[in-house]
Amino acid sequence: MSSLLLALPSKGRLHEQMNKFFESSGLTLSRSGGDRTYSGFIKGIKKIEILYLSASEISGELLKGNIHMGITGIDLIEESRTSASKEVVLLSKLGFGKANVVVAVPNSWIDVENIKDLSEVASEFRSYNNRRIRVATKFKNITRNFFSHNGISNYRLVDSAGATEGSPAAGTSEIIVDITETGQTIEANNLKILNDGVMLESQSCIFSTTSNIWDDVDLEPVEKFLRIISARSEAMNKVELFFDYIDDKDGLEINLYRKFKAIFSKGSPDLGEATSLIVPISEITSCSLYLTSLGYGPIRTSQPNFIYNKESESWNILRQSINRV
């Protein structure tokens, strides 16, 4: 059976973040002919060949159906899709490379706070100036889809060859659509992100193509790889809370899940038993304070390195998408 082709980012910050993620997953990447080559493998996992490409090249090759799997951003996949693209499936979010594609307008537009306001201004702008409002962006497909969904039609897209944030000040556009991690550069250029102006929340993910290149691939090493990656990415976003189950509160288990998406790690605990909860990292404080308000405590926390579930969601998604169930 043939090997799987896995494309990984070849350079830049995304490459560095990916390397750290793989190291924390216990996976060692090795380049076939040294640091300057663009092929490699994962030590200990056979029949997975690595190709090092730019993040944009990875999205393109996935959509053409030329590689089996790749790590790239959601924004690049969505921007690169065409009517001729092969189907691409998101297998697992990896938790790094997070950024948002946003629409931003000048701070001087004090009456424009949301998309509805922008739609009205775009119509008025065309009436007063006899031309459409100009939108500088590198994300033309994402912008068209978002504006169409929100009923905005009076605009014209203009190419953004350099720093998109500088376009309004340079007089080449009225507003921008750009990708940002913190929004600080946008603010520094006297622009503001609309209250509902997040078009797309992006991050680095593992994607797979569903083209027929999967037909002769040995899936055993693929399953091992996906289980490791999924277990690590799952653990990065979770915390384990430890405490003694001293009081059998009615509905505690269901309330913890409804309020905080918290799950007992070993199922429903018995009275007096030392137990633990798996909680989203964003809910540590809220969940802990809720438990102490009910008389539980002390609450101890720990960050797991891996969380292996009985069923691997990413593995199941892949098998179903390529009809290898």
pLDDT digits (tens, 9 = 90+) for 13-58: 999 999 999 999 999 998 887 666 789 999 999 999 999 999 999 9
Backbone angles phi and psi of 229, in degrees to 5 = -60, -45
User: How far is 122 from 147, CA to CA, in rounded Å?
Assistant: 11
Instruction: State the pLDDT at residue 2.
Output: 84
Query: What mean pLDDT comes out for the span 196-222?
Result: 94
Q: 54-62 long-range CB contacts below 8 Å, 24 or more apart?
A: 54/9, 54/10, 54/11, 55/9, 55/12, 55/14, 56/80, 57/7, 58/7, 58/8, 58/9, 59/207, 61/7, 62/7, 62/86, 62/88, 62/207, 62/208, 62/209
Instruction: Please say if the pLDDT value at position 177 is more than 60.
Output: yes
Are the beta carbons of 72 and 79 closer than 8 angstroms?
A: no
Least trusted range by pLDDT, from 22-26, 74-78, 138-142, 245-249: 245-249
* Burial class (CB within 10 angstroms; exposed 0-12, middle 13-18, buried 19+) of 11: exposed
Q: What is the pLDDT of residue 88?
A: 95
Q: Is the pLDDT of residue 233 over 80?
A: yes
**The pair of three-digit structure tokens given for residue 266, joined into one six-digit string:** 């070993």
Where in the chain is CATH 3.40.190.10? 4-97+203-235, 99-200
Residue 3's alpha-carbon distances to 39, 50, 65, 273, in angstroms, are: 13, 10, 15, 48
pTM: 0.89
Whether residue 232 has pLDDT greater than 80: yes
Residue 280 — very low, low, confident or very high, per pLDDT cuts 50/70/90?
Answer: very high
> Was domain 99-200 assigned CATH 3.40.190.10?
yes
Please tell us whether the domain made up of 4-97+203-235 is placed in CATH 3.40.190.10: yes
Confidence check: pLDDT of 282 > 90: yes
What's the rounded mean pLDDT across residues 257-268? 89
DSSP letter, residue 166: G
Could you report the per-residue pLDDT of 95-122, keeping only the tens digit for each? 999 999 999 999 999 999 999 999 999 9
**CATH class of the region 238-302:** alpha beta
